[in-house]
Amino acid sequence: MYKFSPKLKMASIVAMVVGLIMFSIGFGINASRGEDYVLKQASHTEMTHQENQVQHESIVHNTHHDAEHTKHLLHQYHNRPWTAFFMAAFLFTGVAAVSMFFLAIQHVSQSGWSVVVTRIMEGMTAFLPIGSVFILIVLIASALHFNHMYHWMDTELIDFNSDKFDHFMRTKSGWLNVPFWLTRSVIYLAGWTFFAWMLRKKSKRLDETGQVKDYWTLYKWGVFTIIFFALTSMSSGWDWIMSIDPHWYSTLFGWYVMTSYLVTAVAIMIILAVYLKKKGYLPKFNGNHLHDLTKYLFGFSLLWGYLWLCQFELIWYANIPEESVYFQQREAQYNWTYYTMLIPNVVLPFVALISSSIKRNYNFVFAIAVIVIIGHWIDIFNQMMPGTVGAQWSFGLVEFGALLLVGGAFMFVVLRQLSKMNLEPKGNPLFHESEVYEYPF
Which tens digits make up the pLDDT trace of 186-223?
A: 999 999 999 999 999 999 999 999 899 999 999 999 99
Average pLDDT of every residue of the chain: 90
Residue 314 lies in a domain: yes
pLDDT for 316: 81
pLDDT at residue 51 is higher than 50: no
Q: 253: closest CA among 241, 266, 265?
A: 241
Per-residue pLDDT reduced to its tens digit, 240-296: 999 999 888 888 898 999 999 999 999 999 999 999 999 999 999 999 999 999 999
Residue 441 lies in a domain: no
**Tally of domains in the chain:** 1
Residue 337 lies in a domain: yes
pLDDT at residue 110 is higher than 50: yes
Residue 87 lies in a domain: yes
pLDDT for 75: 83
Least confident of 17-21, 56-60, 86-90, 359-363: 56-60
pTM beyond 0.75: yes
Distance CA 288, CA 282 (A): 14
Q: 244: closest CA among 65, 418, 381?
A: 381
pLDDT at residue 345 is higher than 80: yes
> Higher-confidence residue: 118 or 163?
118
pLDDT for 441: 63
Residue 31 lies in a domain: yes
Residue 440 lies in a domain: no
Question: Across the chain, which distance is largest between two alpha carbons, in Å?
Answer: 74
pLDDT at residue 407 is higher than 60: yes
Contacts for 360 with CB less than 8 Å, ≥ 6 apart? 287, 288, 290, 291, 294
Whole domain around residue 315: which residue ranges? 6-429
Neighbours of 335 (CB within 10 A): 12
pLDDT at residue 62 is higher than 90: no
Residue 415 lies in a domain: yes
Residue 229 lies in a domain: yes
